[in-house]
Amino acid sequence: MTDIDIDIDTERIRQDFTILESGIIYMDTAATSLTPEPVLDAVLDYYRRYNANVGRGVHRLTRIATAEYEEARNKVAKFIGARAHEIVFTRNTTEGINMVASGLSMHKGDKVVISLLEHHSNLLPWLRAKRKFGMDIDIEVVKPANGDRKSCELDISDFEAAIDADTRIVAVSHVSNALGSILPIRAISKLCHANDALLLVDGAQSVPHLPVDVKELGCDFMAFSGHKMLAPTGIGALYIREELMPEIEPLNVGGGGVETASFVDYKLKGANEGFESGTPDISGAIGLGAAVDYLNAIGMENVKRKEEKLTKELIEGLQEIPGVELYGYDYDASSNKRIGTVSFNIDGKNPDDVALMLDNKAGIIVRSGHHCCMPLMNYLGIEGTVRASLYLYNTESEVNRLLELVRTIAASGR
């Protein structure tokens, strides 16, 4: 079969990812995406030409570094439909969620609503908040009331039963990192607004793969990571709706985040500046800005449509293989309920063994295990899955190669 004809020059794009020259088939983007040469160039350009701290002086290098750093913020903000001063640079999604969970005041009787599909990073911070504020804070987990257990499909009616006047905040993934399922964020947002509840969205798996607009979604907070969207590791962003910034206590204080300081008291800077104490990951932020440029040049609608076609090939192919069990939503072109992250198991095979066989036999790189979603795996009654996650550099021939190997492994018996 020939590769899918779409508005993305995949072969041209693949030339930007030197690691692919080794012959590997990379399908572990849900854990970390590959990094293209233009992004690496932007990072190295900082170190080679204007390596200096930001906002710390008046000399030429710091002026250049500060301008590039803030331009990166502008790019990231525009990419998700936010304003620049609503973007706080973080290390990753985990840190962004912790900023909100640790900094948001809560009171006796308040409730936090999360879903069954959450990554540990959108579970543990709320459990810690419960410890901090005492046992009077409730955490309610939304689980599917109906439907096939393996699909774990969450309907808006499941959230209607959980979100009420006691709800302080709803914290949910836009897309499940384990299953690739897309949650109905807009509908959840309407429920939150009707009940005066806040909405935090874990955008780690959606921002790299879908067109995202925080204003259209109606969320109050969104956290996401650069390393899942072609940027370096160690850089991420947290969107905080402007009106809510004074309500969130920064996770860290010190350094440049302060407006005045004495031996008696201090006053933090306003907006995003008060959340970014200390020297930030300057090169990482610049790299994230370059990654945004790269994705914008391709077009997020094109990224989405390409993934949809590859996902259809992968899911339909896996469904035809005896002994393969799929988790999450089936592919449905009209439903817009998933991205190209696909979890499956082979009857009688340990997920880690399958992942190793795929690597050893064909250089196919996939993830195996519980994917930092132990409660979800317990609900499914399994210890883990094999997870193949696709992105803009994958091809139909690679999907076919994966299917060929899975078919061989499944036919080999226990």
**DSSP characters over 335-367:** T--B-SEEEEEETT--HHHHHHHHHHHH-EE-E
Identity (one letter) of the amino acid at 266?
Y
CA–CA gap between residue 25 and residue 2 (Å, rounded)? 17
Structure tokens at 248: 């969130």
Cβ neighbors of 404 (< 8 A, separation 6 or more) are none
pTM value > 0.75: yes
Q: Quick one: which of 330, 333, 322, 311 has its CA closest to 398?
A: 311
Cα–Cα separations (whole angstroms), residue 69 to 114, 170, 249: 34, 31, 24
CA–CA gap between residue 197 and residue 229 (Å, rounded)? 30
CA–CA gap between residue 138 and residue 123 (Å, rounded)? 13
CA–CA gap between residue 143 and residue 163 (Å, rounded)? 13
Q: Quick one: which of 307, 320, 301, 319 has its CA closest to 328?
A: 319
Active site residues: 372
> Where in 21-137 does DSSP place strands (E)?
25-26, 87-90, 111-115
**Is residue 355 exposed (0-12), middle (13-18) or buried (19+ Cβ within 10 Å)?**
buried
Give the model's pLDDT for residue 176: 97
Give the model's pLDDT for residue 335: 66
Cβ 264 vs Cβ 121: under 8 Å: no
Structure tokens at 242: 């402007």
Secondary structure letter of residue 175 according to DSSP: B
CA–CA gap between residue 402 and residue 27 (Å, rounded)? 10
**C-alpha R_g of the chain:** 22
Give the model's pLDDT for residue 256: 79
**Is residue 184 exposed (0-12), middle (13-18) or buried (19+ Cβ within 10 Å)?**
middle
List per-residue pLDDT tens for the chain, 414 residues long: 334 445 689 999 999 999 999 999 999 999 999 999 999 999 999 999 999 999 878 999 999 999 999 999 999 999 999 999 999 999 999 999 999 999 999 988 999 999 999 999 999 999 999 887 776 889 999 998 876 788 898 989 999 999 999 999 999 999 999 999 999 999 999 999 999 999 999 999 999 999 999 999 999 999 999 999 999 999 999 999 999 999 999 989 988 788 889 999 999 888 899 999 999 999 999 999 999 999 999 999 999 999 999 999 999 999 999 999 999 987 665 567 899 999 999 999 999 999 999 999 999 999 999 999 999 999 999 999 999 999 999 999 999 999 999 999 999 975
Give the model's pLDDT for residue 39: 98
Cβ neighbors of 40 (< 8 A, separation 6 or more) are 287
In the 3-class helix/strand/coil scheme, how is 215-265 assigned residue by residue? HHHCCCEEEEEHHHCCCCCCCEEEEECHHHHHHECCCCCCHHHEEEECCCC
CA–CA gap between residue 357 and residue 348 (Å, rounded)? 14
Query: Beta strand pairing status for 324-327 and 341-346?
Result: antiparallel
Locate tokens 């399908």: which residue?
27
- Enumerate domains of the chain plus CATH numbers: 10-32+299-411 (3.90.1150.10), 42-296 (3.40.640.10)
How many C-alpha atoms does 28 have within 13 Å on its Cβ side? 19
Q: Quick one: which of 351, 360, 337 has its CA closest to 386?
A: 351
CA–CA gap between residue 166 and residue 255 (Å, rounded)? 37
